Amino acid sequence: AGELRRIALSFWEDIQFKDFNKAASYHPPELQDSVDIPFLLQRLFVVRPEALDILEYEVVMVDIDSTGDRARVRTRLKVKELARGKIQEKQVMLYFRREAESATWTMRLEDSLRSLEADEDKKH
């Protein structure tokens, strides 16, 4: 849990300082070059990342599943939209996986921000 807390805080610090390449490095190696952090942030906050000032961030909860290979970290953010001067608070759940207990945790931000779309192949 401590390692996940540290990773989540480090991730938000990288976002705060607009280091999107470093923020992508928390993803699995095969996704690091393709993950579009600015796009995902714009989806989350509905404002361009360069117009966003992350004022505060904290970890609220770390939850690890029974296998020990999946986890979620609830974070709370306080952000300011620079153009409008509006301050908002958001809670963001970050999802992590690892292949084995000795492996490193990797994040999947796009899973955390997935939009709710119905699967066309399933009944609703």
Is the pLDDT confidence value at 8 over 80? yes
Predicted confidence band at 118 (pLDDT cuts at 50, 70, 90)?
A: low
Percent of the chain clearing pLDDT 70 (strictly above) = 88
**What is d(CA 32, CA 64) in angstroms, rounded to the nearest whole number?**
23
**What is d(CA 82, CA 54) in angstroms, rounded to the nearest whole number?**
10
pLDDT, one tens digit per residue, over 56-111 is 999 999 999 999 999 999 999 999 999 999 999 999 999 999 998 889 999 987 65
Is the pLDDT confidence value at 122 over 80? no
Neighbours of 40 (CB within 10 A): 19
Query: What is residue 108's three-state secondary structure?
Result: coil
